Structure 1
Amino acid sequence: MPREIITIQVGQCGNQIGMEFWKQLCPEHGIGKDGVLEDFATQGGDRKDVFFYQADDQHYIPRALLMDLEPRGINGIQNSEHRNLYNHENIFVSEHGGGAGNNWANGYHQGEQVVDDIMDMVDREADGSDSLEGFVLCHSIAGGTGSGMGSYLLETLNEQYSKKLVQTYSVFPNQMETSDVVVQPYNSLLTLKRLTLNADCVVVLDNTALNRIAVERLHLTNPTFAQTNSLVSTVMSASTTTLRYPRYMNNDLVGLLASLIPTPRCHFLMTGYTPLMVERQVNMIRKTTVLDVMRRLLQTKNIMVSSYARTKEASQAKYISILNIIQGDVDPTQVHESLQRIRERKLVNFIEWGPASIQVALSRKSPYVQTTHRVRLLFVPTLSFFNMIISCLTLSLSLSLSLSLSLSRAHTCTGKERKRKHRAHHCLS
Structure 2
Amino acid sequence: MFVRLLALSREEQAGQSWTVARWLRHWLSTRKRIRPTTKMHYTRDIENFLVPHIGHLILGDLTSRQLDAAFAQIAATRNRAGQPQTVCTLQHVQATLRAALSRAQRDRLITDNPARGMELPPRERAQPEVWTEARVAVWKATGERPVIAVWTAAQLASFLDYIRGDALFALWWLIALRGLRRGEAAGLRWVDIDLHEGQLSVVRQRTTAGYDVHEGPPKSAASRRQVALDKHTVQVLRQQRERQQQRRARRLGAGMVCHDSGYVFTSPDGLPLHPGYLTQRLRLLVDRAGLPPIRLHDLRHGAASLAHSAGADIKTIQHQLGHANIRVTADIYTTVLPPAAYKAAEVTASYLIEAGRPGAELKRQMDRTRDTDDDGTAMAPTEPRPEPGPLGAGARRPPKRTARLRVSRCRTRREAKAQRVLTSRRPANHQERAGQPAPRGH
TM-score tier (shorter): under 0.3
> Higher Cα Rg: structure 1 or 2?
2
The structure showing larger relative contact order (alpha-carbon pairs under 8 Å, at least 6 residues apart) is: 1
**Where is the strand percentage greater, Structure 1 or Structure 2?**
1
Q: TM-score, normalised by structure 1?
A: 0.24
Q: TM-score, normalised by structure 2?
A: 0.24
**Where is the helix percentage greater, Structure 1 or Structure 2?**
2
